[in-house]
Amino acid sequence: GRKVNGKVITELGTKVNPDKDKIEFDGKLFSKQEKEVYVLLNKPIGYVTTVKDQFSRDIVTDLIKGVDVKLLPVGRLDMYTSGALILTNDGDFIYKVTHPKHEVEKTYTVTLKGKIENNEVEKLKSGVKIDDYITKPAKVKILKIDEEKNQSRLAITIHEGKNRQVRKMCNAINKKVLALHRAKIGNIDVKNLEIGKWKYLNINEIEELLNN
């Protein structure tokens, strides 16, 4: 039978407000709103972070099969950057996480051409001028200096999410970026997720991101 707010409905045409009233049908709760879905994708290079693309390039949502709600990317990663990208149908969450005052930390692994010097690391840490602003202090850690290949690998953690910020920061110290990968958003990382694969995030992970 049908129940609204616990009362069995006998007469036809009972007015129901699906936003407020608790509607049951044969014991199952019915909700008008879609359930909120959060997905973490380890984005491959060559995919664009848009919902549709006028140049018919590969888009990130093509990689997410079997989810029956329309997902939107939270923020963006450029086509040549791989790594952690959250997609969701929760508009409030997107707004909160991408809003400057919220400042969720994001950690990137960057491979640079050449050997990075300590004074260059200090510049990245304290802030460099890109476009018309100075970047806020960042955390920078040297992961590896490969003399043979003439490359350096760094972990750079930023709070801001300006367009192509990490690439521009490296350009500001005259270093060419060979590879860029977003390893973490807050404490959510993609180290156990193959490139191109995705998984659902649970509500605790989402709450933690919002409260960090």
Question: Which two three-digit tokens encode residue 56?
Answer: 């018919």
Contact 201, 186 (CB under 8 A): no
Q: Which residues pair with 107 in a beta bridge?
A: 157, 184
Q: Supply the DSSP symbol for 44.
A: P
Alpha-carbon distance of 177 to 123, in angstroms, equals 16
Q: Which of 58, 62, 68, 78 is catalytic?
A: 78
Sorted by sequence, the CB contacts under 8 Å of residue 18 that are 6+ apart come out as 30, 31, 32
92 has catalytic annotation: no
Q: Which residues pair with 134 in a beta bridge?
A: 129
Contact 188, 97 (CB under 8 A): no
Which residues are catalytically annotated?
Answer: 78
